[in-house]
Chain A
Amino acid sequence: MKRIFSPILSFLLLASMAVNLSSCLKKDFDTPPDESSVDPHLKVTHTIAQLKSLPQTQIDSNVVISGIVCMDDRSGNYYKKIVIQDSTGGIEVLIDQTNLYTDYPVGRKIYIKCKGLSLGSYHGLSQLGNAPDAQGSLTMINGTTVGDYIVKATFPNKIKVDTLSYSDLKVPGQNVNRLNTLVAIRDVQFADADAGVPYAPPTATFNRSLATCSASGGIVVRSSNYANFQPILTPTGQGVIVGLYTRYDDAAQLIIRDTTDVRMYNPRCGNGATSLITIDSVRKLFTGGTVTLETYKITGVVISDKSTGNQQPQNLVLQQGDRGIVLRFTGTHTFNLGDSLTVNVTGGALAEYNSLLQISGLQTGAAFKSGTGTIVPRVTTIAQINSNFEAWESTLVKIANVTFPSGSYSGNKVISDGSGSITLYTIATATFANDNLPTGTKTITGITGQFGTTKQIQVRNLTDIQ
């Protein structure tokens, strides 16, 4: 009896333990309720403008302000400080903490209990922080105890951004209530020397000058080399910029939160209006030698591919309708196959380079990408290309039944389609230069060109050969 009793008893005990134990298993942790709609409704005693006008440095009384964060440190453009604004103005708040955007992101409403904090200013810009140091600079609020001063409220909140005129904002002294608030300016572009270049060099904080269509300078966009958008190139177009309005004594500055604050999608305005002409008309301006172009701009779609290295890095081929032309910039450009460009060719040199017509001497900032486009290649034969060559120069053609010689792409290779033959030219350093030419008959798409007396076609990449 005992022999059966013990195993039964133990089994029952084990089973009961198992049942009991599964109910003791730990459950997953609950997510706390979202507090972003919680507003503690502290009693606000001063507006930010009233705070800034307080006479003393250290605030001894119960001053409570409230504002919405309009600038944080998410991009790295600012470090250990945030800026808040209300309807009367804005102020910097210095806090000894990294990644403040996690607690106080742009759009968060906060209250600040200012008792014990100090007011200061940096070259005319108001700041809120801790007691000044021996040199008189304001120190930062202690990152560990900041909760004693800053009370979090709702998120997100929209900030009303006023659009102002460039000329008005050039003088910070006349816009004191706008300092440390967000402003927008229309019809503005980066000055010629500051367009199409990185927001800041890798080594230091830098100012990039803004310009209007008629005048340049007066307001700068100041960016830190620690900002994550530091290497991004400033746009070459014209449009709207939103930013935090600050000053360094009498110099007006705009601080952007990130590149979405900069919306310059219109074509640049030059010094004098440019008139739009077709590529066909530009080509007809060539009468031999070098023609310096007047105030013209052209549009077209890029049909060359810079990524495969079968064009000089400073060149591209632009086609509009059934006419095309080679553009040569003063430095390496960044435009890709398919970009739709508007190019200000004012002052460009229209000339033939070894019989190929091109406009050279253009600044990369003069070309402006407005979107993308497609050019449908002209389906034709080699014989027709050879007989219409000048008109069809620098355009995209498509030829069927092409046979190739043996060897690799690099250099001049004669191809024919039965109706005639033409040179297929590939730069020796192109990515596919050492690949073998195809066997059998293929359809080829390419750009027509010439070098001296040789008529040639250049493909963009290997998918041009099907």
Chain B
Amino acid sequence: MKHSFITGLLLLCSYCLFAQQEALIKGKIISSGTKREIAEVTVNIPELNLQAITDGSGDFVFSNVPFGNYHLIATTGFIHTDTIPLTVNEAIVDVETIEVSIDDAATSMESQQLPTIALEESAISSDDDGVSDQNISGALTASRDPFLAASSYTFGPLRYQLRGYKRDQMEVYLNGIMMNDVESGYASWNQWGGLNDIFRNQSVTFGLEPGEAGFGGLIGSSEIDATAASQRQQTRISYSASNRTYSNRVMVTHSTGMMRNGWAFSASASKRWSDDGYVPGTYYNAYSYYLGVSKQLNDKSSIHLTTFGAPTSRGKAAPVTKEAIALAGDNYYNPNWGMQDGEVRNSKVNNSFQPTTILSYQYKPNMKTSLNAAFAFQTGYNGNTSLDWYNNPDPRPDYYRYLPSYFLNDPNGPNYEQAEATREYLTADPNRMQIDWNRIYQNNMMNQRTVNGVTGRRSLVILGEDRDDVNRYSFTTNLLKNINEHITIRTGVAGMLQMTESYRKVDDLLGGDYFVNLNQFAERTYVGNVQFNQNDLNNPNSIVKVGDKYSYDYKSQFYKAYWWGQSSFVFNKVDMFLTAKVGTEGFMRDGQFKNGLFPTKSFGSSETFNFLTYAVKGGLTYKIDGRNYLYANGGVMTNAPSFDNTFISPRTRNDAISEPKTEMIKTVEAGYLLHSPNLTGRLSGFVTDMTGLTDIKRFYHDDYQTFVNYVMRNVDMRNLGGELALQAKISPSFSATAVATWMQAFYTNEPDVSIYRDDDTSSKVGTSKVYIKNYYVAAGPQSAYTLGLNYKSPKYWYANVNFNYMDRNYIDINPSRRTAEAVGLLADGVEKSAILAQEKLPGIFTMDVFAGISIKVNKYIHAASKNSFIYINAGVNNILNNQSINGGFEQLRFDYSTQDANRYPNKYFYGYGINYFLNISYKF
């Protein structure tokens, strides 16, 4: 069936040929230095005003090229070009490989810009209220598509999410290995933060476009080649200054490139640090290292060993209410820190280190076949500290009971006098809105107690750390075969095994001698019961000190294995592809603590959950002529649910939702693309339906006076929208870009919700409905516009200015407010609307300015080599200093008795005001 289909297409195309004498031009661009393919190279046929860009394999295609004699010009930088004569006299012309040399003098905004928070995990992270991380996808920075470049560099720092999809829809491959975490599905870019020089060889696909290393997600895929062999020979030292998450960065890289003896070495190290970041109290302290060795075994095969890691420690910020911001007098009020002995000490610190080692083997018997096999081992940890307390008042300075609003929202009537007295007290000394470390230490030191045979200072408040210790093993093998000029097959298998231990441990006793491993919430509910209050019945009332585990401890195991295959067809008039993936994955929990409330189902192994998943996508591109393309792609995919959305309360027990099911995604996208040297653009649209999702939110429920696991099942969502982008070359040096995107990401049904309480030993729970249909999913700004003007001087400098506007950014809702319990018995009116309405954040207008220059050192210091360059890049984002809220959520706590939505008001993140970077590199 496939055979006749291809024959039919070939006949169609041969008919086209006879009719118009047009041809398909194919080729591959490789670097003369590394002899490896280069992605994102612009190839022009100036006589015909045609332009193509090379993909991840360095391949480019021109369609509908009339017979004749022309020139192919490959541009890697700005001025430097390589010109190849081109004669088109048959239906398919394969120019095979073209070697180009990289223009070191070229410097552009894309190649040099210091990553903003788009590429690094933001300093703001999850909150006690159980709202999940608001991290930003940091992908697609290598793409030349004006829409993709804008979405990462320009929109990214403003919390924009591509097409509203979550981060797990971006697949990231490193030397062939998929780096997405098996548990969460997210690729965490801070695993290789600070190694920008090495991780520059990136190619990306967007949306449902056929990928190169795997099936790809809804956002697309990013494939990075970080082997030593792919690094250009260079030594580079750079220094950067900024006022964002870190203030300084020093980076040193040395790569030998592939040497004549067949070896290549590459090493890089960097340090990023700041004592105090943009947000007060956020410090940054990170090192990174990279070591790569490659050996060309013979002219067909090579072997590569790559190892890298980035130990990072940073202080975090927190989302806060408008009242707290007003009391502190600072949009960037951070309640996580306080002064201790004259130094700023942040209670919420993230420590992570997940070094990775990849051994890969490449076999390329000819230009048409390529086999890549890789093994990877990753070990490490990710930890987040926070305060823990036992029978102590809440030590957080912005706890709602300490603020004036507590007195205004008193159920017995507002107490204006006390609200005013509180406001005066808190604004009299800025330290009163920060953590009082001294009080914590003094109270811990006074609390001399004897517990379980131990006498000493029993800490009332400690610093604990939630840790995930991860070991991951993966292997992958991919085959690429160009069957003929038209058909390319890619196929591969991959497998991974991940073992994680998740636990909480004592980080600092804060002046005390010991802490006791007890569940104080169970103690409040079941007074006097000495079983229920135990976190670990196997070690009741255990005395814990620094480094000891307490509260919870469980191991989890994940496995994933899949096969994928893709066939792509390139013809003169039509391109097509079909991709399929079939896989199996699963996980289980192995509790290490015997929880006193759930003694029979917390210690030991849970059942193992296995899921069968499949995915299919395909698409068609109709090439009207060499420049204008129309395309349509569609796909159906299933996803296994995540561990955290299957186990009801993994920290306390093995219970899981009944019959967890895979989620289903149906998606289509279509558009028009324009590729010409002077004008590039796109007009595209998409609709994606995601059905059958399970979402579990965990928070403290005021009515039940305990932590609850809010399980929503059968959640359905839809993302739809469109993008319009245009990049025009007004003159050889001057270009303008305009991008507009509009989308809607919203819930399309009313999910069922069951509430599992962490203090309830029974397992029967009722189900009710959540009325969230047509509420927006919080996915960053759902409208984004930018206008950019770029000037590239032939004297090797550039300047760029962007005007941006983001709007339709909606707050993350608390689903439990859209239930009968929350609004029941309330007539329509102000109070009811306050509970139900979804806040839209104000639109943000910003202006960015960038400039850079590259200096050939040899021009001024003749002793220097011809390859020495100094690059200086600088940029100022949000030069108008518009400090505006760019994210937020409704608190998951809600007062059901007063039904006052203002009791626990929304919490917000402010976007950075004016922020800058300056980057100086010396390359030789």
> Which residues of the partner chain A approach B426 to less than 8 Å between Cβ atoms?
144
Complex contacts, B417 vs chain A, CB 8 Å: 131
Q: Are B437 and A143 in contact (CB under 8 A)?
A: no
Could you say which residues of chain A place their CB within 8 Å of the CB of B117? Answer: none
B425 & A144 in contact (Cβ 8 Å cutoff) = yes
Q: Which residues of A contact B438 (CB under 8 A)?
A: 32, 35
Chain A residue numbers with a CB within 8 Å of B442 are 32, 34-36
Cβ contact within 8 Å between A105 and B446 = yes
A29 touches B341 (CB 8 A): yes
| B-side contacts of A9, CB under 8 Å | 235
Residues in A neighbouring B253, C-beta threshold 8 A: 10
Chain A residue nearest in CB terms to B865: A2
| The one of A99, A202, A228 that contacts B392, using a Cβ cutoff of 8 Å | A99
Q: A10-B235, A17-B252, A148-B425 are in contact. Are A102 and B269 (CB under 8 A)?
A: no
What interface size band does chain A fall in? 35 or more
CB <8 Å contact, A98 and B393 = yes
CB distance from B406 to the nearest CB of A (A): 8
A142 and B393 contacting across the interface, CB-CB below 8 Å: no
Q: B252: which A residues are within 8 A, CB to CB?
A: 10, 13-14, 17
Q: Which of B401, B443, B527 has a CB less than 8 Å from the CB of A226?
A: B527
Judge whether A123 is part of the interface by a CB distance below 8 angstroms: no
Question: A230 vs B523: C-alpha distance in the bound complex, in angstroms?
Answer: 13
Q: Do the beta carbons of A231 and B528 come within 8 Å of each other?
A: yes
B287 at the interface (CB under 8 A from A): yes
Chain A, residue nearest B401 (CB): A143
A32 near B340 with CB under 8 A, answer yes
Q: Which residue of B lies closest to A140 (CB)?
A: B418
Report if B391 contacts A (CB, 8 A). yes
Most buried by A among B250, B407, B446, B511: B446
Q: How far is the CA of A111 from the CA of B273 in the complex (A)?
A: 45
With A29-B508, A32-B437, A142-B418 already in contact, the answer to whether A103 and B235 are too (CB < 8 A) is no
Q: Is A97 part of the binding interface, using a Cβ–Cβ cutoff of 8 Å?
A: yes
- A34 partner residues in chain B, CB cutoff 8 A: 442, 445
Contacts of A2 in B (CB 8 A): 865
CB contact under 8 A between A102 and B341, given known A21-B271, A148-B425: no
Question: Chain A CB within 10 Å — which of B250, B254, B401, B426 has the most?
Answer: B254
> Do residues A17 and B446 form an inter-chain contact, with CB atoms below 8 A?
no
CA distance A81 to B273 in the complex (A): 47
Which residues of B in the span 224-263 have a Cβ within 8 Å of any Cβ on A?
235, 237, 250, 252-254, 256
Complex CA distance for A130 and B418, rounded to whole angstroms = 10
Instruction: Point out the residues of chain B lying under 8 angstroms from A99, CB to CB.
Output: 391-393, 460
Please report the C-alpha to C-alpha distance between residue A368 and residue B421 in the assembled complex, in whole angstroms. 56
Q: Which residues of B contact A156 (CB under 8 A)?
A: 446
Say whether B441 faces chain A, with CB atoms less than 8 Å apart: yes
Say whether chain B's binding surface is mostly helix, strand, loop, or mixed.
Answer: mixed
Q: In A206-236, which residues have CB < 8 Å from any B CB?
A: 226, 228, 230-231
**Cβ of B267 under 8 Å from chain A:** yes
Docked pose: A156 CA to B313 CA in angstroms: 39
A220 to B250, CA, bound (A): 74
In whole angstroms, how far apart are the Cα atoms of A74 and B390 in the complex?
A: 12
0 or 1 for each of B620-633: is its CB under 8 Å from A? (1 = yes): 00000000000000
CB neighbors of B among A392-433 (8 A) = none
Q: Mark B339-376, 1 if CB is under 8 A from A, else 0.
A: 01101010000000000000000000000000000000
Q: Chain A contacts of B403 at CB under 8 A? A: 144
Contacts of A97 in B (CB 8 A): 393
Verify if A26 is at the interface (C-beta below 8 Å from B). yes
B313: contacting residue among A26, A29, A231, CB under 8 A: A26
- Partner among A13, A31, A131 whose Cβ is within 8 Å of the Cβ of B511: A31
In the bound complex, residues from chain B placing their C-beta under 8 Å from that of A102 are: 391-393, 443, 447, 460
Chain A residue at smallest Cβ distance from B509: A31
Contacts between the two chains (Cβ within 8 Å), count: 104
Bound-state Cα–Cα, A212 to B393, Å: 41
In the complex, whether A61 has a CB less than 8 A from a CB of chain B is no
CB atoms of A228 and B443 under 8 A apart: no
Residue of A nearest to B270 (CB): A17
* Interface set, chain B 406-447, CB cutoff 8 A to A: 407, 417-418, 421-422, 425-426, 437-439, 441-443, 445-447
List of A residues within 8 angstroms of B273 by Cβ: 24
Would A7 and B254 be within 8 Å (CB), given that A142-B421, A202-B527 are in contact?
yes
At the interface, yes or no: A79 with Cβ under 8 Å from chain B? no
B285: Cβ under 8 A from any A Cβ? yes
Given A30-B341, A231-B528, verify A13-B237 contact (CB < 8 Å). yes
Contacts of A23 in B (CB 8 A): none
Interface residues of A in 68-115 (CB under 8 A from B): 74, 97-99, 102-103, 105, 108
Chain B residues within 8 Å of A24, by CB: 273, 285
A101 → chain B, closest Cβ, in Å? 8
User: In residues 432-469 of chain B, which contact A (Cβ within 8 Å)?
Assistant: 437-439, 441-443, 445-447, 460
Tell me if B271 and A36 are in contact (CB < 8 A). Answer: no
Nearest chain B CB to A283's CB is how many angstroms away? Answer: 41
B833-867 contacts to A, CB under 8 A, are 865
Any A CB within 8 A of the CB of B700? no
Q: Quick check: is B924 within 8 A (CB to CB) of the other chain?
A: yes
Docked-complex contact B421 and A14, CB < 8 angstroms: no
By beta carbon, the residue of chain A nearest B342 is A30
Nearest CB of chain B from residue A1's CB, rounded to whole Å: 10
How far is B417's CA from A320's CA once the two chains are assembled, in angstroms?
A: 71
B896: Cβ under 8 A from any A Cβ: no
Q: Which of B341, B392, B407, B446 contacts A36 (CB 8 A)?
A: B446
Interface string of A27-63 (1 = CB under 8 A from B): 0011110111000000000000000000000000000
Would A17 and B269 count as touching, CB distance under 8 A? yes
> Is the CB of B569 closer than 8 A to any CB of chain A?
no
Q: For A74, what are the chain B residues with a Cβ–Cβ distance below 8 Å? A: 391
Q: Is A155's CB within 8 Å of the partner chain B? A: yes
The answer to whether A6 touches B235, judged by C-beta atoms less than 8 angstroms apart, is yes
> Would you call A145 an interface residue if the criterion is a C-beta within 8 Å of the partner chain's C-beta atoms?
yes
Bound: A316/B250 CA distance, A: 80
Minimum CB–CB distance from A28 to chain B (whole Å) comes to: 8
Name A230's contact: one of B343, B422, B527 (CB within 8 Å).
Answer: B527
- Is the beta-carbon distance between B527 and A228 smaller than 8 angstroms? yes
In the complex, A148 Cα to B425 Cα: how many Å?
8
- B267 to A29, Cβ gap below 8 A? no
Residue of B269, B460, B511 most packed against chain A (CB within 10 A): B269
Closest B residue to A18 using CB positions: B269
Give CA–CA (A143, B407) in the complex, Å: 11
A290 CB, nearest partner CB in chain B, Å: 40
> Is B904 an interface residue when CB atoms closer than 8 A count as contact?
no
A133 → chain B closest CB, angstroms:
8
Please, which residues of chain B bring their CB within 8 A of the CB of A103? 439, 443
A31 contact set on B, CB distance < 8 A: 441, 511
A322 to B417, CA, bound (A): 77
Within 8 A of A (CB), among B865-886: 865
Interface string of B176-189 (1 = CB under 8 A from A): 00000000000000
Closest to A133 in B: B412
Query: 0/1 per residue, B287-305, Cβ < 8 Å to A?
Result: 1000000000000000000
The 28 sampled A-B contact pairs (Cβ below 8 Å) are A11-B254, A14-B252, A14-B267, A17-B250, A17-B252, A17-B269, A24-B285, A25-B285, A26-B313, A29-B340, A30-B340, A32-B438, A32-B511, A35-B442, A36-B446, A97-B393, A99-B391, A99-B392, A99-B460, A103-B443, A142-B418, A143-B401, A144-B401, A144-B403, A145-B422, A148-B425, A155-B446, A231-B528
Besides A32-B340, A144-B422, 15 other CB < 8 A contacts?
A6-B235, A9-B235, A17-B269, A21-B287, A30-B341, A32-B511, A34-B445, A36-B445, A102-B392, A102-B393, A142-B407, A145-B422, A228-B527, A230-B528, A231-B527
3 tightest A-B CB contacts, nearest first: A10-B254, A6-B235, A145-B425
B residues in contact (CB < 8 Å) with A: 235, 237, 250, 252-254, 256, 267, 269, 271, 273, 285, 287, 313, 340-341, 343, 345, 391-393, 401-403, 407, 417-418, 421-422, 425-426, 437-439, 441-443, 445-447, 460, 508, 511, 527-528, 865, 924
